[in-house]
Amino acid sequence: MVRQHDSLSPNGGNIRKSRRLVGQPLLYALTCFASLGVFLFGYDQGVMSGIITGPQFQAYFKQPNSYQIGTMVAILEVGAFITSIASGRVADMIGRRKTLFTGACIFVIGGAIQTFTTGFKIMVLGRIVSGFGVGLLSTIVPIYQSEISPAEHRGKLACIEFTGNIFGYASSVWIDYFSSFLEGDWSWRLPLFMQCVIGSILAAGSLLLPESPRWLIDNDFLDEGRSVISDLHGVELDDLKVTAEFEEIKDMVQKDRLIGDRSYLAMWRRYRQRVLIAMSSQAFAQLNGINVISYYAPMVFEQAGWIGREAILMTGINGIIYVFSTVPTWYLVDVWGRRAILMSGAAVMAIALTATGWFMYIDQVYTPNAVVVCVIVFNAAFGFSWGPIPWLYPPEIMPLAFRAKGVSMSTATNWLFNWIVGQVTPTLQEVIKWRLYPMHAFF
């Protein structure tokens, strides 16, 4: 039965809201705005890297040891892991748009707790709460992106979305750098406060986004689903393109309903191989060493010989190149294919990380500059390959009935291995020193 539209329907009361943007301009606008969600968790991954080495931060938290630093940085991933598991069911129940709004609101609350923290325990609490928001956002944005994108643009738009993530990381590093010139506690509180500003923009803007047409049709909001498809194509409701895509999605929904049981267990039984591919791609994306750099780049550069603010500056330069490294994949992902990009990126990353460890081991006068070059090459290779592709795979390979749950499992895997790497890295840097980098190169 087709639901009638009222003020409580997912897109509001008016089926055909007038939009200034339709077609490709609307599609790219939605991609850019939804990318604020991944911008946020990119920002949150990078923001701690620049402040944990600052003298004001160190003094306020009474010279925290490596375990405390690792906990403050990595505890966010625990929160993200928890909500990413549940986010698949949440997204299926309340819709993609409301999940995006909820994640942004939770993120703002966590950012506020971090900004006005009074000590280690409150900081940890704030990081966990932000993690709850990040877990929802990191799951729902790839799903939403996949479901609003035409097949011929899906790969490119997913890669543009990942660029938003890295732009968030680079922005956090530069905000850390400029804030380091401030006196007092605001040298580290200001970068944390920026989480609240960006999260508020995303929360407000998510109320204006159209709902996913696939979710609408799956939940019997057929007229609204058709209307969103029409807007995305930039044509009238009765256009053949709209009718063809609408009927295709409706047929998929009918077939999926014949499945009956849509639980996580049913997904595992029917699509075990697909789920394992989605999960393993995210696991290896974290074990290859990226979060040693993302979370602790200034510490890595200090280990190589750069001092204080110079280490943050080198991290900022690395961040700019990191952003630009993601752009070629926009155009090559549907030409080279996913596998070729992953393999070429992995080869360069392994060489760069091994060289990083080698230059630290020999400890020559040129070691600081050599390590910067190696880290930049490593980050660029990751941004080109293992950064975007593992986010593209899961929503592509999972059927509609299990898409949200499949993506939630792969995202939970991401955050689990994120936490492991983030938690143990400060200790490993103290204990095994330069050997840490060839160890990650192995993966």
Secondary-structure percent of the chain, ordered helix, strand, coil, rounded to 5: 80, 0, 20
Which band of pLDDT confidence, cut at 50, 70 and 90, is reported for residue 246?
very high
406-431 pLDDT, tens digit each:
888 898 898 899 888 878 877 777 77
CA distance 320 to 406: 32
For residue 18, count other CB atoms closer than 10 A to its CB.
Answer: 7
Whole-Å CA distances, 377 to 50, 322, 384: 20, 9, 11
Taking alpha carbons only, the member of 29, 92, 79, 83 closest to residue 263 is 92
Q: Given this model, what pLDDT does residue 20 score?
A: 64
Q: What is the DSSP letter of 125?
A: H
DSSP 344: H
**191: confidence class by pLDDT, cuts 50, 70, 90:** very high
CA dihedral 91, 6, 228, 199 (to 10 degrees): -50
pLDDT, residue 198, reads 92
Output the DSSP codes for 269-327.
Answer: HHSHHHHHHHHHHHHHHHHTTHHHHHHHHHHHHHHHT--THHHHHHHHHHHHHHHHHTH
Whole-number average pLDDT of the chain? 85
- Distances in Å between the Cα of 244 and the Cα atoms of 31, 51, 211, 225, 251 are 23, 52, 19, 13, 11
185-224: burial string, b at 16+ Cβ within 10 Å, e else: eebbbbbbbbbbebbebbbeebeebbbbbbbbbbbebbbb
CA distance 78 to 81: 5
3-state secondary structure 144-156: HHHHHCCHHHHHH
Which residue bears the tokens 């997204």?
91
Residue 9 has pLDDT above 80, yes or no: no
pTM: 0.82
**DSSP structure class, residue 401:** G
Domains in the chain with CATH codes:
23-441 (1.20.1250.20)
Average pLDDT of the segment spanning 98-109 = 94
- % of the chain beyond a pLDDT of 70: 95
Residue 284, both tokens: 């290896």
The terminus-to-terminus CA distance of the chain in angstroms comes to 51
Q: What is the pLDDT of residue 15?
A: 46
